[in-house]
Structure 1
Amino acid sequence: MKFNFLYIAIIVFLNYSFGQQSKDLKKIASLKQFVLNSKEIDSSSIAEAHYTIAEYYRKATPLTDSAFYHYHHAEKIFRQLKTKYRLALTLYGIAVIQKNEKDFIGSEVSCVDALSLLESLNKTDDIINLKSFIYNNLGIVFKELEQFDESIKYHTKAIELKEKLKGNNKETINISKNNIGNTYKNAKQFDLAINYYNQILQDKEFIKENRSMYALVLDNYAHTLYLLNKHEQLPGLYFKALKISDSINYRGYNTIIINEHIAEYYNGKGNKDLAKHYAYIAKDISEKYHNDDLLKSLLLLSKIEEGELAVKHLKSYISLNDSLQKNERTIRNKFARIRFETNQIEEENIQIAKERLWLLVISVAVIIASFLLYLVIMQRSKNKELQFIQEQQETNEEIYNLMLSQNEKIEEARTLEKKRISEELHDGILGRLFGTRLSLDSLNMSSSMEAIKNREQYINELKTIEEDIRKVSHELNTDFVSGSGFVDIIKTLVITQATVYKLSYKFNHDDTINWDEVSNKKKIHIYRIIQESLHNIYKHASATQVNVSFELKNNVIWLTLIDDGTGFDVQKAKSGIGLKNMNSRINEINGVIDITSEKDTGTKVTIQVPMT
């Protein structure tokens, strides 16, 4: 059985217009049941039902998330049916909710979407009226975003459209003028704001018929005078606006703002008692109606009150502000979730059909592309590996040649030193021995006291020569360049790198290590490891000192490098190419590497290499 939806919608709105809330609830319940049992009903009726429910929730209840839910379902169906006007109406309802929940960017997007739909439709009164509402909403959005020029532009467009409508549209036009005045006031262009408020206040017939609007504009006008420091008519205008509101039992939003403005005025005049009186009235009323205005009241009281009361109100303000922001985020998240869930269902249905068509093609394409990519990556990897091995071999040859060159220089120095000692033995000590022997021979046949004395002198000379020979012998036994050879190469590397990297250094070497027993391959890798470590210290550690030392323990060479740098996370660093190269070298010479590091303390690298 099908329902005449439009008839139901008209009844709901008529009942709503006359304030029959209980009947409205019954009608909304019927519409919800209608939507649930809508499998055999045309989509247009379902969309209209969702729209009607959303309108009720938006205008008569605080359930904005429920309103958004039904608007969104209506939007989806209207888009499918390409019913542009009804879709634009729905988008406007969504935009208003987004504006009220401070999702200003979302509200702007919804408004622009609605306007683009209306551009292609005939300019009937309904279309013009809806566009004026959308422009008005955009004007409010841009005012809240403090883009005042854009706000004025859209409010002006709204007025231009309202003036084209048939009938008496003075009230909606004056609402837009009041909005423009508020925008100019927020932009601190007070004279322009006063001009727009005066345009409304000078229309005696209008303000006589619209007392609530009159009170609102009068308060805005008075507050602008206050901001201009023109206090001659104050607080009289405030009290006049308050009296009008009281006379029509309009104790809602308007009276909160008016009382806040009066409190602000008296606080500025130094009359704390009256300021507190009206500020607390504003607070009491706002607690029943508007949380945003309660925020303003609490902030105002924190400025008026003193001591602990001021602190109490400020804390309440901060707590409420945090709560409101959290609530706004929650509602915006609900909106996003509603959109996501409905979009997801729709997209999934579309995707199922497409996926079956493209699954095989995509799978084959992915497999082929993956195979080709694998071949390319493997080939590049092999090329890089070969290039790296070649470069490593060239570098090792260069280091080995450098070590040989260094050893040749050391051997040359040894030869020169031996020649010097030989000449010293021949020309010095042997000459003295020969002279002493001749002198002793000449005394062999004499036994005089003088001969005995001379003989003793020559014997002492022989002792001196003996000491000289022992000294020369000791020099011959001692390596004249202790620690030379490979140790000198390493020491030169440390000195050179430390100088370039501006590091102070300490170099300690265990003389018991016989480097002649260590293979050239190990020497080269040890050299490169030290070089890589010093480079890493300079590049990453921000160190000022490095200590390099060699020790021999149980026929194992222990190389230790310690810096005083910033340290690092050893686990994360294991993937670095520098550390990978060091590990590779250590593995080639059957060694072991251990790295410990502490943040802001430094790093210690210990390497163990067997002698043979």
Structure 2
Amino acid sequence: MRIRIIFLFSFFVIFYSCLKSEKRTARLLNKYEVYTKIENKEAYLDSIYNLILSETNDSLQREELLQIATRYEGLDQVPKFKQTLYKAYDLAVKQTDTLHQAQVFWYLGDFYDQKQIADSSYYYFLKAEHLYASQQDSLNWARMLLYKAGVLYDIGIYTECETATAQALEILSKQNETRLLYEANVQMTLVLKELKEYKAVLKYYLKIPTLLLQLEREGYDKKRLQRSWLSYYNNIGDYYNEMNKPLEGRRHFEEALSQNTIDDFPKLKAMLLSNYAYNLMLSDLKSSKIDSLLDLSLTLRKEVNHVQGIINGKIYKAEFNLLKNDTLGAIIGMREAYELALANNSGYELMNSLKFLAEYDQMNTESYYVTYLELQDSLHNIERQTRNKFARIAYETSEIEKKNDILIKRNSYLWGITIVILSFSFIGFMAYHLQLKNKKLVYKQKELQVVQHIQELLLQKQEIANRVRDQERERIARDLHDGIVSNIHVLRSNLMLLPTSEPQKKIRLNKQLEEAEEQLRNLSHDMFKKLFKNNDNFSDIVKDLVLQQKNTFETNFVFIANNNIKWDYYSNNQKIQIYLILLELLHNVNKHSYASECKVILIEMAQSIIIRVCDNGVGLANGKVTRGMGFKNVHHRLKGLKGVFTISKLDDMTMMVIEVPYEKKNTNL
């Protein structure tokens, strides 16, 4: 009886002490929130932090540490913010508290996301995601997937962003969480738009109004709802602008700008005004509203100091001036946009402004083109490095977690083996040992498979990046060869026909033009050689060209080829000409055919290669073969290859056929 009384007394003392400590901590935190005139808030938080550390390591203590961490962050005390989180994490590890470990990673990921440190943010969101997934905390698992997808979207890794968002949507489809489902659908529309998957984009856009109405019924914050509606109108209006359906997009912009609450969101209002102006530029160029809309948008962006918005506003203004035939005003405005983008390191806007100036600022075309190409190469390198870095983070995180799991399981097996040794005979021990070795082999095989798969993914991404770079190089080389070289040749010919009293000067000028023409031709040839020098199988290059074709009427492109075509019978220059001819024929299909299907067939004959481009489109207008500049280029290139070009109609199929004879190691163009 006496022992029982002592036990009960001790229990009540401990319970009262814990309750008293809990109430005291809560009271101090509440005082911090209510009394804003505390002179030294940092010291006040330090005292609460030390008080919490004196408590028992339980879930309440860890939760209080997380609250203290957020308040340190509010005071911009970053070292103490991180120190408190690390302490909470260590205590959670000691108690095998996976959920609080995940919450620490969540806080760190959010912190680095606000600081725009993408790799650290991605790393911690990924760690949190894995922990929530392991605990089947579906809601937070989906939330971390969305946060991770947001980081991937911001840095331009769109395919992985789409994958993470789709996974979050799959999880949320079984949850009753409207807000997260809305955010996931918005994220999917944004990334699909970047991937140019326009049909899929519209499907997700149509879901958003229903979700916003459901949030309204659930009593969601009105101001955030108003902003979400305005963002929806802006995004879907911009989608229709990009689809070249301005009349459908216009009603969404007008609906948004007619809202009474629009002035509460100046940054969003400026974006709506700018996109509405662009909509009118597409559909009603003579509208008197365009200038005022662009000017008002630019004024609002300057008031809120939205630098990227200011750059975009100047770009739209310059494009509009060009449409009004005010080329000088357009160039001046675009120079301002270029200088601002350069000062703020805005890569996308910098590329757009450079491309515009290279095309229309005739006095500085060469300088802008060189800068444009250098910037493009730099951005491609950065993109490739970023993709590799994020793939490496995902891989290393997975490997660390896998090793931890293996260590935990290994420890469990060791304890089991010890019990078996003490309880059973030597035969039982040997059987268990063999089983352990088999499992280790299985884990090793799985690990090797994962490593191989990741390496394959990295190679694929590298291949895609190289392909994009080579396509741009090929386009520029073609422009140099077919455009500028031809113009210089014509200019040189006209110069020789002009009468002059200084024939020596005319001859000298003609010589300089001839040298420039030769330099440009050599440059374009060198670029083409670089395009093909690392590709052993030319059929694969042609296949890639065919399968990457896209157009607005969604033609299905099919590639068929004989195996082992003797491409080594052709020189690099001959392959280049074949490639450019096929590119011109595919361009004709994309531009004029309105076909649902196009087949490109490579056939090897005894002394030649035959390439057929067949489509079920509208066919060619009378005289198109002789009048079209593209077909003239095809005939010109085939003349150098001693090839033949024919066009025929069979049922509903238009067939364009080129035949190029073998002429081993011929270098003539």
TM-score in terms of structure 2 length: 0.49
2:574 aligns with: none
2:258 aligns with: 202
Q: 2:108 aligns with which of 41, 53, 64?
A: 53
Q: Is the 8 A contact 1:12 1:24 kept in 2?
A: no
2:517 aligns with: none
1:317 aligns with: 372
User: Within 1, Cα distance between the matches of 2:64 and 2:308?
Assistant: 35
User: Within 1, Cα distance between the matches of 2:374 and 2:148?
Assistant: 29
Q: 2:319 aligns with which of 237, 261, 264?
A: 264
3-state SS, counterpart of residue 235 of structure 1: helix
1:546 aligns with: none
The farther-off stretch of 293-302 and 168-177 is 293-302
Q: 1:40 aligns with which of 73, 78, 94?
A: 94
Change (3 A) 1:260 1:244: same
Q: 1:341 aligns with which of 383, 396, 404?
A: 396
Q: Is the 8 A contact 1:265 1:275 kept in 2?
A: yes
1:230 aligns with: 285
Task: Within 5 Å, give how 1:446-595 maps onto structure 2.
Answer: none
Q: 1:100 aligns with which of 154, 174, 178?
A: 154
| Equivalences, count | 358
Per the TM alignment, residue 25 of structure 1 is displaced from its structure 2 partner at its CA by 5.9
Q: Is the 8 A contact 2:108 2:121 kept in 1?
A: yes
Q: Is the 8 A contact 2:62 2:91 kept in 1?
A: no
Q: Are 2:372 and 1:294 aligned?
A: no
1:518 aligns with: none
Identity among equivalent pairs (%): 21
User: Within 1, Cα distance between the matches of 2:209 and 2:167?
Assistant: 21
User: Within 2, Cα distance between the matches of 1:242 and 1:134?
Assistant: 31
Q: Is the 8 A contact 2:68 2:84 kept in 1?
A: no
Q: Which runs of 5+ in 1 are unaligned?
A: 364-538, 543-599, 602-612
Q: 2:174 aligns with which of 99, 106, 120?
A: 120
Task: Within 5 Å, give how 1:268-283 maps onto structure 2.
Answer: 268-283=323-338
- The amino acid across from 2:126 in the alignment is H
Per the TM alignment, residue 7 of structure 1 is displaced from its structure 2 partner at its CA by 4.4
Change (3 A) 1:284 1:39: same
RMSD of the TM alignment (CA)? 3.1
Q: Are 2:202 and 1:152 aligned?
A: yes
User: Within 2, Cα distance between the matches of 1:52 and 1:156?
Assistant: 33
Q: Are 2:227 and 1:171 aligned?
A: yes
Q: Are 2:435 and 1:357 aligned?
A: yes
User: Within 1, Cα distance between the matches of 2:67 and 2:345?
Assistant: 30
1:186-205 per-residue CA deviation (whole Å, 9 max, x = no partner) reads: 111111111211110121x1
Change (3 A) 1:348 1:362: closer
3-state SS, counterpart of residue 328 of structure 1: helix
Change (3 A) 1:330 1:361: closer
- The amino acid across from 1:200 in the alignment is A
2:307 aligns with: 252
User: Within 2, Cα distance between the matches of 1:362 and 1:78?
Assistant: 26
Q: Which runs of 5+ in 2 are unaligned?
A: 1-52, 411-432, 442-565, 570-663
Q: Is the 8 A contact 1:276 1:304 kept in 2?
A: yes
1:571 aligns with: none
User: Within 1, Cα distance between the matches of 2:248 and 2:72?
Assistant: 42
Task: Within 5 Å, give how 1:178-217 maps onto structure 2.
Answer: 178-203=234-259, 205-217=260-272
Larger radius of gyration: 1
User: Within 2, Cα distance between the matches of 1:159 and 1:52?
Assistant: 31
1:116-166 per-residue CA deviation (whole Å, 9 max, x = no partner) reads: 222222x2xxx2111111100100111111111211221221232122112
Per the TM alignment, residue 358 of structure 1 is displaced from its structure 2 partner at its CA by 5.9
- The amino acid across from 1:326 in the alignment is N
1:65 aligns with: 119
Per the TM alignment, residue 32 of structure 1 is displaced from its structure 2 partner at its CA by 4.5
Q: Is the 8 A contact 1:133 1:158 kept in 2?
A: no
3-state SS, counterpart of residue 332 of structure 1: helix
Change (3 A) 1:158 1:306: same
2:129 aligns with: 75
User: Within 2, Cα distance between the matches of 1:350 and 1:200?
Assistant: 52
Q: 2:77 aligns with which of 19, 23, 37?
A: 23
2:189 aligns with: 139
User: Within 1, Cα distance between the matches of 2:347 and 2:120?
Assistant: 20
Change (3 A) 1:68 1:157: same
Change (3 A) 1:231 1:69: same
Change (3 A) 1:23 1:152: farther
1:506-550 per-residue CA deviation (whole Å, 9 max, x = no partner) reads: xxxxxxxxxxxxxxxxxxxxxxxxxxxxxxxxx9x99xxxxxxxx
Per the TM alignment, residue 316 of structure 1 is displaced from its structure 2 partner at its CA by 1.8
3-state SS, counterpart of residue 94 of structure 2: coil
Change (3 A) 1:106 1:361: closer
Per the TM alignment, residue 87 of structure 1 is displaced from its structure 2 partner at its CA by 1.0
Change (3 A) 1:188 1:215: same
User: Within 2, Cα distance between the matches of 1:100 and 1:361?
Assistant: 41
Change (3 A) 1:94 1:263: same
1:481-507 per-residue CA deviation (whole Å, 9 max, x = no partner) reads: xxxxxxxxxxxxxxxxxxxxxxxxxxx
